[in-house]
Amino acid sequence: MNRQFWRSKKVFVTGHTGFKGSWLCLWLRRLGSQVQGYSLPPPTNPSLYELGRVADSVESTTGDIRERGKLAEAVARFAPDIVLHLAAQSVVLDAYADPVDTFSTNVVGTASVLDSVRRLTGRCAVVNVTTDKVYENRGWEWGYREIDRLGGRDPYSSSKACAELVANAYRDSFFDASSPAGERIGIASARAGNVIGGGDWTPHQLIPDSIGAFARGEPVVLRNPTATRPWQHVLDCLDGYLTLAEALYGNPRSVSEGWNFGPADADMQPVARVVELLAAPWSVQPAWTPDTAVYPHEAMELRLNSQKAHRRLGWSGRLPLEMAVSWTTDWFRRFHAGEDARRLCESQIDDYLHLCPLDR
């Protein structure tokens, strides 16, 4: 990421009131960007957006991305250089409970965002944030590559694969590489791993469930302790999005495609291993107990291959799993001790930037 690139850039962020969106806005403001957010109210209580006073640093429009007129007006008024589309229904179990809303938000909402961009007359790079779960999961013990088939047997995974098809259709129909529009508008999809970090209170997720249990001195109850996932810290994930946006803005024709941003092979570990690392500072033993309830299907093995991003974008994660977990537990322990959420985020952003080579 080239830090100078982001100074004074106009960045439109959908889903800015969520966990990743809040971290992203704080980071962009730290880099000197002008940020416009568009989102529903914060999806959790407590929320990092409110505790981190994100609204103090960004312009914000409250709205549903499916409200085409309102969204298009906000995008046209701001005239962004960069659009980072994070807004989504992102909880797997919630998607089982309400699949129609999930498909509507993730598919129709993505089309609304891209249609708003289609009406812009200036240069713009769009990063469509999806998920590692967009691939047709075959239970492989090696990482999925960008050339592997999209799929998804559950509503959430399928909806995000569909969102990628929408992005591809808009790119090929309106911003084809051979057309004049393809010189100024780039659309790429970003597939990250299972993100962890301080300030995550998303329901049915490993980190908030674990931290809550440990703070009470109790083991966490796990649905799938042996499930393997590509774990990464939120700042590694966002660094991938920002690196891709830079490249897309500079040369839309060369990078308007799908990209994986996952951890090193050694950091793709079972759920139980991550929980044991999380529990260490709280001295909770045992760290977890198995959940005996029956839940809808979730894949047991999921890995990402990020060699393309490393080779062509120069991106790689900076925080190995143990460090990512340490930063996460440190954030929560300090927050529970009374420290300010925004200062904790900004401190970790600064520490992360010190780990990164300048202008890579």
Residue 274 domain flag: yes
Burial of residue 147 (CB within 10 Å: 0-12, 13-18, 19+) is exposed
Neighbouring CB atoms inside 10 A of 273's CB total 16
Residue 303: what pLDDT?
92
* Tokens read off for 159: 């909806």
- pLDDT at residue 123, rounded to an integer: 95
CA–CA distance from 167 to each of 115, 182, 258 (Å)? 10, 14, 10
Q: Which DSSP symbol is given to 150?
A: B
Phi, psi of 220 (to 5 degrees): -85, 145
**Environment class of residue 203 by beta-carbon count within 10 Å: exposed (0-12), middle (13-18) or buried (19+)?**
exposed
Q: How far is CA 90 from the centre of its chain?
A: 10
Residue 360: per-residue pLDDT? 53
pLDDT in tens, 161-190: 999 999 999 999 999 877 777 789 999 999
Beta bridge pairs of residue 233: 196
In the block, residue with structure tokens 């249990």: 213
Mean pLDDT, rounded, for 143-154:
94
Q: Is the pLDDT of residue 356 over 80?
A: no
Q: Is residue 256 part of a domain?
A: yes
- DSSP alpha helices (H): ranges in 125-233? 155-174, 206-215
Tell me what the pLDDT averaged over the chain comes to. Answer: 94
Query: Domains in the chain: how many in total?
Result: 1
Query: CA–CA separation, 172 vs 175, rounded Å?
Result: 6
Domain that holds residue 274: 3-355
**Percent share of the chain, pLDDT over 70:** 99
∠330-336-340 over CA atoms, to 5°? 85
8 A C-beta contact, residue 221 and residue 291 = yes
Whole-model pTM: value is: 0.96
Residue 294 has pLDDT above 90, yes or no: no
CA 213 to CA 196: how far, in whole Å?
16
Question: Cβ distance 36 to 28 under 8 Å?
Answer: no
Alpha carbon of residue 250 to chain centroid: 22
Alpha-carbon span 251 to 253, nearest angstrom: 6
Q: Is the pLDDT of residue 358 over 60?
A: no
Task: Assess whether pLDDT exceeds 80 at residue 109.
Answer: yes
Question: Tokens 């990209």 — which residue?
Answer: 259
Q: Is the pLDDT of residue 193 over 70?
A: yes
212 domain-assigned? yes
| Rounded Cα distance, 285 and 171, in Å | 51
- DSSP-assigned letter for residue 36: E
Which of 62, 152, 71 is CA-nearest to residue 108? 71
Instruction: Give the tens place of pLDDT for each residue, 35-85.
Output: 999 999 999 999 999 999 999 999 999 999 999 999 999 999 999 999 999
Contact (CB, 8 A) for 39 and 84: no
Cα(277)–Cα(269) distance, integer angstroms = 11
Contact 255, 207 (CB under 8 A): no
pLDDT digits 0-9 by tens, 260-277 = 999 999 999 999 999 999
Query: Domain with 326 in it: what CATH number?
Result: 3.40.50.720
Confidence bin at 316 (pLDDT 50/70/90): very high
Residue 36 forms part of a structural domain: yes
Per the domain annotation, does 360 fall within a domain?
no
Residue 11 lies in a domain: yes
Residue 207, helix vs strand vs coil: helix
Arithmetic mean of pLDDT, 178-205: 91
- Lowest average pLDDT, out of 253-257, 260-264, 294-298, 347-351, goes to 294-298
CA distance 311 to 260: 12
Residues 99 and 101: their CA atoms lie apart, in Å, by 6
